[in-house]
């Protein structure tokens, strides 16, 4: 990937997350990234194309981060579904945390037919499938993956509303009850 493309993606990732996709214009991205308009359009056909690339890259990086952290936090595969909430707590504790970029995108682009809405929803389905894989690997009931996803997203929204990371621990306790296992601390 070219350095210019990478710089545009980095700037857009930051601006879209802090201010919202709809609130940030191409001119702001070009100015902040310090690239020529022609360079921008050489790499991205439109702001929507850039936003889709940002979501794709964020999805790949976020999922890889969670997989790595969950494995590190829970050597016991049976406890890995709960460790997702410990990893979430780490993210929620970041003072710059402004919620889930994918949920924010869904809220910003209401029609489910919108390409950005579909991309963000696809990430959520991928993450729910990740829960299902963890449950299956631990010999647990994978049919509750949607329940764990609901707890995960609920913890994210509640943490933003309350301004603290404690909802992740509450969601972990609820997930442990759903799974019928005692969480490790």
Q: Long-range contacts of range 154-162, CB-CB < 8 Å, 24 or more positions apart?
A: 155/85, 155/88, 155/92, 156/88, 156/92, 156/99, 156/100, 156/103, 157/99, 157/103, 159/92, 159/97, 160/97, 160/98, 160/99
DSSP 61-128: HHHHHHHHHHHHH-SSGGGHHHHHHHHHHHHHTSTT--S-HHHHHHHHS-STTSHHHHHHHHHHHHHH
pLDDT averaged over the chain? 96
Summarize pLDDT for 143-166 with one digit per residue, the tens. Answer: 999 999 999 999 999 999 999 999
Residues 5 and 80 in one domain: no
Q: What is the number of other CB atoms lying within 10 angstroms of the CB of residue 103?
A: 17
Same domain? For 64 and 111 the reply is yes
Question: What is the percent of the chain with per-residue pLDDT over 70, rounded to a whole number?
Answer: 98
Domain count, the chain: 2
Residue 1 pLDDT greater than 80, yes or no: no
Task: From residue 34, give the alpha-carbon distance in Å to each of 30, 134, 143.
Answer: 6, 43, 48
- Asked if 80 contacts 74 with a C-beta cutoff of 8 angstroms, the reply is yes
Q: How confident is the model at residue 185 (pLDDT cuts 50, 70, 90)?
A: low
Q: Are residues 72 and 139 in the same domain?
A: yes
User: Given its phi and psi angles, is residue 137 left (phi above 0), alpha (psi -120 to 50 degrees) or beta?
Assistant: alpha
d(CA 44, CA 38): 10
- Whether 65 and 90 share a structural domain: yes
pLDDT of residue 74: 98
CATH (domain of 108): 1.10.357.10
Domain with residue 12: its CATH number is 1.10.10.60
Residues 62 and 123 reside in one and the same domain = yes
Together in a domain, 34 and 82: no
Determine the pLDDT at residue 176.
98
Same domain, 31 and 60: no
In a domain, 28, yes or no: yes
pLDDT attached to residue 129: 99
**Judgement on whether residues 157 and 77 belong to the same structural domain of the protein:** yes
Each residue's pLDDT tens digit, 90-139 = 999 999 999 999 999 999 998 889 999 999 999 999 999 999 999 999 99
Whether residue 49 is contained in a domain is answered as no
Q: Is residue 20 domain-shared with residue 65, that is, in the same domain? A: no
Q: Are residues 39 and 59 in the same domain?
A: no
The pLDDT, as a whole number, for residue 112 is: 86
Q: Is residue 185 part of a domain?
A: no
Q: Containing domain of residue 21, as a range?
A: 1-44
């Amino acid at each position: 990937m070219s350095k210019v493309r990478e710089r545009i993606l980095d700037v857009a990732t930051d601006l879209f997350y802090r201010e919202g996709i709809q609130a940030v214009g191409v001119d702001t991205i070009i100015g902040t990234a310090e690239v020529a308009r022609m360079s921008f359009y050489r790499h991205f056909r439109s702001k929507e194309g850039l936003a889709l690339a940002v979501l794709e890259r964020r999805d790949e990086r976020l999922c890889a981060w969670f997989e790595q952290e969950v494995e590190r936090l829970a050597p016991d595969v049976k406890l890995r579904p709960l460790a997702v909430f410990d990893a979430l707590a780490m993210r929620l504790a970041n003072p710059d945390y402004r919620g889930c970029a994918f949920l924010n995108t869904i809220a910003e682009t209401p029609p489910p037919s919108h390409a950005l809405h579909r991309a963000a929803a696809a990430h959520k389905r991928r993450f729910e499938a990740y829960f299902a894989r963890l449950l299956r690997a631990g010999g647990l009931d994978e049919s509750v993956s949607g329940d764990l996803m609901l707890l995960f997203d609920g913890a994210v929204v509640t943490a933003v509303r309350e301004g603290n990371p404690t909802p992740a621990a509450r969601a972990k306790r609820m997930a442990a009850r759903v799974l019928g296992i005692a969480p490790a601390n």
